[in-house]
């Protein structure tokens, strides 16, 4: 021990690539961990978004006692941000106790100030930190898979079950595969995002996910006459499975492809041995919120916390902001090839 250094003193620092294995070991062994805390996202987001990752860790006597993943994002239109983490549903500190969380958040906040960020955002944190601004309009939908397929099926409301039956009766089929289905997935996903008026994430995001996670990722397809009409990305982490992205061609919605898609995914995850299935986050009152309520009766409120620096109100950089109404209407009319080119150059610069 160095002269003057106290036993059990908590020290914080930037993590480097040499810390990757120890970081993941800590995440694996910590209660409250999420797939978003895994080290691999540092490389996935850097390579696909072009962002600068800043991963913080806390140590006591050389032992990791807390981690905080963040990335620095910069946009000519919207400014600079520090986010934990973009695209993902989860982030924030994962630590042994609230005091360590505060130390890591303070260190990250100092970096955000140095870089003249407008705000520092932490998504779906587990332990509230005092003195921060909060957003509480988003919900997680967790489904308990431990009772088996029959019990899970009976837990859905009648409408959800009937729509699955309808899809099957109309000849829709489902399959689950791997990286070989990325092109099918992205074709549907990008088309749907254009129709929603939202810039699409880069295809490299999904190829990087498969490159870094391998068998911990899958793609599910729903087909009509052997033509894919709906698709979903599945990410696994230990006994957890979730779908962060899913889409269907809007012209086939009356065939209920999304219902069959999710049921096929849920059955696959039960067979895999997953204990929890995550439908992903949705904002209160949105269309996806009501869709997921058919499957999960009691969603869990997420808490997003913010340090605000050069702004006074919470950021609303999403399609629900009335300021973007005209831009969304224009985007929907653009050719798919153009939106696939421009979309990733826009969306990877905003949280």
Q: What topology does CATH give the domain 140-301?
A: Aminopeptidase (3.40.630)
Using pLDDT thresholds of 50, 70 and 90, give the confidence band for residue 1: very low
Give the pLDDT score at 319: 66
Give the pLDDT score at 328: 86
Predicted confidence (pLDDT) per residue in 226-275, tens digit:
999 999 999 999 999 999 999 999 999 999 999 999 999 999 999 999 99
User: Which residue intervals of the chain are DSSP H helices?
Assistant: 20-29, 40-49, 98-114, 149-155, 158-169, 182-196, 203-213, 257-272, 287-293, 325-331, 336-347
Better-predicted residue by pLDDT, 317 or 71 = 71
Task: Cis check for the bond before 218: say yes or no (omega within 30 of 0).
Answer: no
Structure tokens, 199: 């810039």
Chain Cα centroid distance, residue 251: 26
Q: Do domains 10-136+302-315 and 140-301 have the same CATH topology?
A: yes
> Is 322 in a helix, a strand, or coil?
helix
Parallel/antiparallel/unpaired status of strands 79-84 and 119-122: parallel
Q: Tell which CATH architecture fits domain 10-136+302-315.
A: 3-Layer(aba) Sandwich (3.40)
In angstroms, the Cα distances linking 149 to 220, 237, 241, 269, 275 are: 18, 20, 15, 10, 11
Using pLDDT thresholds of 50, 70 and 90, give the confidence band for residue 320: low
**What does pLDDT average to over the chain?**
93
Residue matched to tokens 């904002």:
283
Using pLDDT thresholds of 50, 70 and 90, give the confidence band for residue 317: low
Using pLDDT thresholds of 50, 70 and 90, give the confidence band for residue 314: confident
Give the pLDDT score at 327: 85
- Average of pLDDT values for 195-208? 95
Give the pLDDT score at 318: 67
Using pLDDT thresholds of 50, 70 and 90, give the confidence band for residue 4: very low
Q: How far apart are the first and last CA of the chain?
A: 42
Predicted confidence (pLDDT) per residue in 116-149, tens digit:
999 999 999 888 898 899 999 999 999 999 999 9
Structure tokens, 94: 């994962």
Under 8 Å between Cβ of 70 and 56: yes
Give the pLDDT score at 40: 98
The Cα 63–Cα 144 span in angstroms is: 34
The Cα 179–Cα 209 span in angstroms is: 9
Residue matched to tokens 């036993």:
7
Q: Which residues lie closer than 8 Å to 163 by C-beta, 6 or more apart? A: 256, 259
pTM of the model: 0.91
* Among candidate residues 143, 89, 87, 90, the one with its CA nearest the CA of residue 262: 143
Among residues of the chain, what percentage have pLDDT more than 70? 97
Predicted confidence (pLDDT) per residue in 255-269, tens digit:
999 999 999 999 999
User: Residue ranges per domain, the chain?
Assistant: 10-136+302-315, 140-301
User: What angle separates helix 158-169 from helix 257-272, to the nearest 10 degrees?
Assistant: 100
The Cα 171–Cα 4 span in angstroms is: 73
Predicted confidence (pLDDT) per residue in 72-94, tens digit:
999 888 899 999 999 999 999 99
Residue matched to tokens 């950089």:
317
């Amino acid at each position: 021990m160095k002269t003057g250094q106290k036993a059990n003193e908590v020290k914080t620092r930037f993590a480097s690539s040499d810390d990757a294995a120890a970081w993941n070991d800590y995440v694996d062994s910590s209660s409250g961990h999420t797939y978003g805390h895994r080290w691999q996202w540092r490389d996935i987001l850097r390579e696909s978004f072009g962002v600068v990752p800043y991963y913080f860790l806390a140590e006591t006597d050389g032992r990791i006692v807390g981690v905080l993943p963040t990335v620095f994002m910069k946009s000519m239109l919207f400014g600079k941000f520090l986010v934990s983490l973009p695209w993902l549903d989860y982030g924030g500190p994962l630590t042994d106790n609230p005091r360590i969380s505060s130390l890591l958040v303070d260190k990250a906040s100092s970096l955000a100030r140095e870089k003249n960020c407008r705000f520092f955002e932490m998504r779906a944190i587990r332990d509230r930190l005092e003195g921060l601004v909060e957003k509480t309009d988003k919900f997680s939908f967790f489904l308990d898979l431990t009772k088996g397929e029959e019990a899970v099926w009976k837990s859905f409301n009648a409408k959800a079950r009937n729509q699955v039956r309808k899809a099957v009766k109309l000849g829709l089929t489902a399959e689950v595969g791997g990286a070989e289905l990325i092109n099918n997935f992205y074709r549907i996903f990008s088309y749907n995002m254009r129709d929603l008026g939202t810039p699409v994430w880069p295809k490299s995001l999904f190829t990087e996910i498969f490159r870094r996670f391998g068998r911990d990722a899958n793609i599910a397809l729903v087909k009509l006459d052997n033509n894919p009409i709906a698709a979903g990305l599945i990410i696994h982490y230990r006994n957890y499975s979730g779908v962060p992205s899913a889409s269907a061609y809007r012209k086939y919605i009356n065939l209920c492809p999304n219902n069959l898609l999710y049921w096929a995914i849920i059955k696959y995850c039960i067979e895999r041995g997953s204990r929890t299935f995550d439908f992903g986050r949705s904002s209160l009152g949105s269309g996806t919120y009501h869709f997921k309520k058919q499957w999960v009766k009691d969603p869990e409120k997420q808490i997003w916390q913010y340090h605000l620096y050069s702004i006074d109100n919470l950021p609303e950089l999403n399609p629900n902001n009335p300021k973007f109404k005209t831009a969304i209407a224009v985007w929907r009319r653009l050719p798919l090839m153009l939106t696939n080119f421009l979309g990733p150059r826009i969306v990877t610069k905003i949280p």
